[in-house]
Amino acid sequence: MILTVRTTRGREKTAVKAMRSKIKANNFDIKAVLAPDDLKGYIFIEGKEQDIKDLTSEIRNARGVIDQEVGLDEIEKYLSEEQEDIKIEEGDEVEVIGGPFKGEDAKIKRVDDTNREVTIELIDAAVPIPTTVDADMVRKKA
């Protein structure tokens, strides 16, 4: 069964991250969680109906489950072949594309693949201070 969950607009990825932690901590029968980039305020969850409701009940950015099953053909347009991840490594120069340092150039000091985080130092900063940000907040420079 696939159900739609309303979320705080722009906080879909945060909600998914919280859900993944909760799925690991509990024994929910959840098969997949999908947060399409071009659909704001909604995510799709595949699993048992009661487990989906229990999972979303305590997630801060989850605003409720829509009690109408979604067919796979309805969300097929949001499914695409997974894009190959561009591997970011220590020493790479990146551009920060989100957060308070948006538009700044930085150098990668550490990569945490488990939490999808990177530690960066801003290149133009007078005093280079290591800052940890989400890996999705940086883009490798060409």
Residue ranges for the chain with pLDDT beneath 70? 80-86
The pLDDT assigned to 86 comes to 59
Q: What's domain 93-140's architecture?
A: Roll (2.30)
- CATH homologous superfamily of domain 2-78? NusG, N-terminal domain (3.30.70.940)
Q: Where in the chain is the domain with CATH 3.30.70.940?
A: 2-78
The pLDDT assigned to 135 comes to 87
Q: Where in the chain is the domain with CATH 2.30.30.30?
A: 93-140
pTM comes to 0.56
**C-alpha–C-alpha distance, residues 7 and 25, integer Å:** 21
Going by their DSSP bridges, the two strands 42-47 and 105-112 should be labelled as unpaired
The pLDDT assigned to 25 comes to 86
Encoded tokens for 97? 């594309």
For residue 127, the Cα-to-chain-centroid distance in whole angstroms is 30
Find the largest Cα–Cα distance for the chain: 55
User: Edge-to-edge strands of the sheet including 30-34?
Assistant: 30-34, 42-47, 2-7, 62-66
The pLDDT assigned to 80 comes to 64
